[in-house]
């Protein structure tokens, strides 16, 4: 099966600019996650969708970050305006609906964002 | 809350050495435990998992045992190879909540 697809792979922007990342999960996976991985740290969940509904966005900085999954398939994460501390790898992951708690998440290769 | 504490790296070993990467956790519920690996230039991949106390997860020569009494899930391998060079993440997931909580990761480098 095809894996989780993310684009772009790399992005360099200046602070205060905006940027968007795209994710296409594994076909049939109803749950989609966006994680932020800052250099030297573990991934931190930003937002979790089940189909097109938000399950958890408690750690999403909503003043500048937004995410949508309008048709319950692919998703877009946006940052506007970007700050220097947003430099990180943004990981998308998916899992099947109704997955048992011991089932794995499938991760994409990530988008590495550098804010200058 | 839920948290994972990992042995700080980086860790550098010679080929065929014995590997241990320590992981301890704190969880409000009853967690499942995972080790994920991130090879250079690639995404996170599940390495192994354990879902209840005393379970042993294993894959590619790596093993980890779920120890409820010490709240630990240490990763071990008897003889590492250069191809094991990667970043290793310990993670947990609590029943009823699908999200993963990760440790900070341990970078492992194996030299020939």
Nearest by CB to B49, from A33, A56, A102: name it. Answer: A102
pLDDT average, residue stretch A64-73: 92
Give burial (CB, 10 Å; 0-12/13-18/19+) of B83. Answer: exposed
A105 secondary structure, DSSP code: P
* Confidence band of B96 (pLDDT split at 50, 70, 90): confident
Residue of chain A whose alpha carbon sits nearest to that of B9: A40
pLDDT digits (tens, 9 = 90+) for A16-53: 999 999 999 999 898 999 999 998 889 999 999 998 89
A48 to B105: CB separation less than 8 angstroms, yes or no: no
- Contact between B90 and B8 under an 8 Å Cβ cutoff? The reply is no
pLDDT digits (tens, 9 = 90+) for B35-72: 999 998 888 999 999 999 999 999 999 999 999 999 99
A104 touches chain B (CB under 8 A): yes
DSSP, collapsed to helix, strand or coil, labels residue A19 as strand
**Tokens at A20, concatenated:** 């968007």
Minimal C-alpha gap between A35 and chain B (Å) = 10
- If one counts every other C-beta atom within 10 angstroms of the C-beta of residue A39, the result is 8
Instruction: Establish, for the pair of chains A and B, how many residue pairs have beta carbons separated by less than 8 Å.
Output: 60
Residue B33 scores a pLDDT above 80:
yes
Minimal C-alpha gap between B15 and chain A (Å) = 25
Please provide the size of chain A in residues: 116
Cα–Cα distance list, B58 to A39, A54, A75 (Å): 28, 34, 33
A94 touches chain B (CB under 8 A): no
Q: Residue A62: CA atoms inside 13 Å, Cβ hemisphere, count? A: 6
* Residues of B whose CB is below 8 A from A107: 36, 43-45
Going by C-beta distance under 8 Å and a sequence separation of 6 or more, which residues neighbour residue B64? B23, B33, B35, B48, B50, B56, B57, B58, B73, B74, B75, B76
A31 touches chain B (CB under 8 A): yes
A107 touches chain B (CB under 8 A): yes
Bridge partners (DSSP) of residue A35 are A45, A91
How far apart are the C-alpha atoms of A112 and A11, rounded to whole Å?
A: 6
């Amino acid at each position: 099966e095809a894996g989780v697809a993310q684009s772009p792979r790399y992005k360099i922007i200046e602070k205060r600019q905006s940027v968007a990342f795209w994710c296409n999960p594994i076909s049939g996976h109803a749950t989609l996650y966006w994680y932020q991985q800052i250099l030297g740290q573990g991934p931190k969940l930003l937002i979790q969708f089940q189909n097109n509904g938000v399950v958890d966005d408690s750690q999403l900085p909503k003043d500048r970050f937004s995410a949508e999954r309008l048709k319950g398939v692919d998703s877009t994460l946006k940052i506007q305006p970007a700050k220097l501390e947003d430099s990180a790898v943004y990981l998308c992951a998916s899992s099947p609906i109704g997955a048992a708690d011991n089932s794995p998440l499938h991760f994409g290769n990530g988008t590495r964002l550098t804010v200058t | 809350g839920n948290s994972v504490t990992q042995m700080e790296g980086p860790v550098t070993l010679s080929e065929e050495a014995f590997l241990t990467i320590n992981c301890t956790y704190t969880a409000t519920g009853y967690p499942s435990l995972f080790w994920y690996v991130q090879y250079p230039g690639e995404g996170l991949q599940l390495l192994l998992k354990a879902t209840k106390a005393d379970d042993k997860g294993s894959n590619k020569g790596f093993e980890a045992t779920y120890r409820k009494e010490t709240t630990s899930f240490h990763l071990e391998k008897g003889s590492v190879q250069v191809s094991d060079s990667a970043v290793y993440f310990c993670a947990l997931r609590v029943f009823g909540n699908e999200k993963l909580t990760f440790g900070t990761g341990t970078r492992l480098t194996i030299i020939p």
